[in-house]
Amino acid sequence: MRSMRKPMLAGWLAAVIVTLIAGKVGAQDPKAAAAAYIDANLDRFETAAMQIWELAEVGYQEVESVAILKNELERSGFRIEAGIAGMPTAFVAEWGQGSPVLAILAEYDALPGITQTASPERTPDDSKIAGHACGHHLFGAGSVAAAIAIKEWLANSGTAGTIRLYGTPAEEGGSGKVYLARSDVFADVDAVLHWHADDENDASPATSLANVSVKFRFHGVSAHAAAFPERGRSALDGVEAMNFMVNLMREHVPEESRIHYVITRGGNAPNVVPDFAEVYYYARHPDAAVVQDLFARMVAASEGAAQGTGTRVEHEIIGGVYSMLPNEALARVMDANLRTVGGVKYDADETAFAEEIRKSFPADIPALGSQESVMPFEQRQNGGSTDVGDVSWRVPTAGLRAATWVPGTASHSWQAVAAGGTSIGVKGMAVAAKTLAMTAIDLYRQPEVLSEARAEFERRLPANFTYKPLVGDRQPPLDYRK
């Protein structure tokens, strides 16, 4: 479906015309000018997104993807500091000076173990080890587009203020933003804006699940499994015993809890008692304190399993994130702008693609066409986890979801990779970029909203709250995907 990404001449010419008109009324209609700028330069940002889609680099290894985004920002006059908070693929790009300081987040890591071409039929890409099944290629490029559009407005209007874009690696299990939050890089930021790929458009204030991810490593004694079984102590037995106990624990945890795992190392040959085995766990709950309790119980289970199997166990926290702290004051501004921008309209080729890919979905899926609308504004509890959560406990934060996938698409699926590699994904990215830019313009022009957002933020924090990251004092796990 690469043909779906061909430049649309008519749309480009229309965008240029709108840009010229908006330039004349810029002072009266700056948000229209920002949206027109994104339309007129969409090919540029599409190219960046699709280059990152092709690269599909995993967490903390997004070297080329970061270079693409930094190049676009440098071209537009941003000052860039690379390698922040001990992460080589993290960066901050800044333009302007003084207050208010607004920040936009950008992601760019892919998911290992899932690949797909830009086809509506299951077609893995065997040349890759990962795919953008969560749309972070669009997230990164769309956020850059928004930041540049905001910079253009600030420069042309002479408005005081600073716009920053934070390049944040390894969202998928690596907790990149947690190390940024821990290092106080948001200390002088008035508000943070972000977005995410999805199959619908929504800017409701939402929370998420806190999460801790841990690798448990068991060490045993190898031996010939038939000739000398009595000499062996199976590390895999330790893993399986731990898994059995944690699965029994599921009956006795708070209802909203989620626990899942994969055995990442289990031995190499059946006739050799494994002397090393590893299991990788996630534990989630809306409350970070409950997650900490689940983690402590998992550690106890691992120690019991090791004692019972005559093995030794150690564990490493790979990532840990807070739930999202919603901010309704910011969300209402975001929602109003998303409704102004509107959803995603498919052309004939995109409709045919969508109808084909929907044949792989279950029967109970949203109707095709729902990508054109915006979801009702209401408090939501999302089922996933994100390291944006930690940022939201440090500074007022708001985000949106934009329809970059065919309605009914699940995140972390081959269908998400496929649509994200076509013009369907690019159109959703444009919706997000415009909404972010327009929201930022409102916030620069309406300081009272920032004051209201700060007051709400402080009300929502528990009494005597002190931010303590769930990753503790460990350094970023730069090799967790190797």
pLDDT tens by residue, the chain, 482 residues = 444 544 444 444 544 444 444 444 344 599 999 999 999 999 999 999 999 999 999 999 999 999 999 999 999 999 999 999 999 999 999 999 999 999 999 999 999 999 999 999 999 999 999 999 999 999 999 999 999 999 999 999 999 999 999 999 999 989 999 999 999 899 999 999 999 999 999 999 999 999 999 999 999 999 999 999 999 999 999 999 999 999 999 999 999 999 999 999 999 999 999 999 999 999 999 999 999 999 999 999 999 999 999 999 999 999 999 999 999 999 999 999 999 999 999 999 999 999 999 999 998 888 899 999 999 999 988 888 999 999 999 999 999 999 999 999 999 999 999 999 999 999 999 999 999 999 999 999 999 999 999 999 999 999 999 999 999 999 999 999 98
Please choose, from the candidates 160, 155, 163, 149, the residue with its C-alpha nearest in 3D space to the C-alpha of residue 72: 149
CA triplet 342, 450, 389: central angle to 5 degrees?
Answer: 75
Q: Compute CA distances 269 → 222, 266, 272, 274, 401, whole Å.
A: 11, 9, 6, 8, 46
Q: Compute CA distances 421 → 11, 53, 198, 360, 369, whole Å.
A: 20, 7, 14, 18, 20
Tell me what pLDDT residue 410 has: 95
HSE value, Cβ hemisphere, 13 Å, CA-based, for 150: 36
Tell me what pLDDT residue 202 has: 98
Give every CB contact of residue 68 below 8 A, 6+ residues apart in sequence.
48, 51, 52
Numbered ranges of CATH 3.30.70.360 in the chain:
210-314
- The CATH topology of domain 210-314 is Alpha-Beta Plaits (3.30.70)
Strand partners, 82: 91
CA triplet 339, 344, 350: central angle to 5 degrees?
Answer: 175
Residue with tokens 């972000």: 194
Numbered ranges of CATH 3.40.630.10 in the chain:
47-208+323-460
Tell me what pLDDT residue 12 has: 47
If DSSP codes are grouped into helix, strand and coil, which group holds residue 407?
Answer: coil
CATH class of 47-208+323-460: alpha beta
- DSSP element (H, E) containing 321: strand 312-321
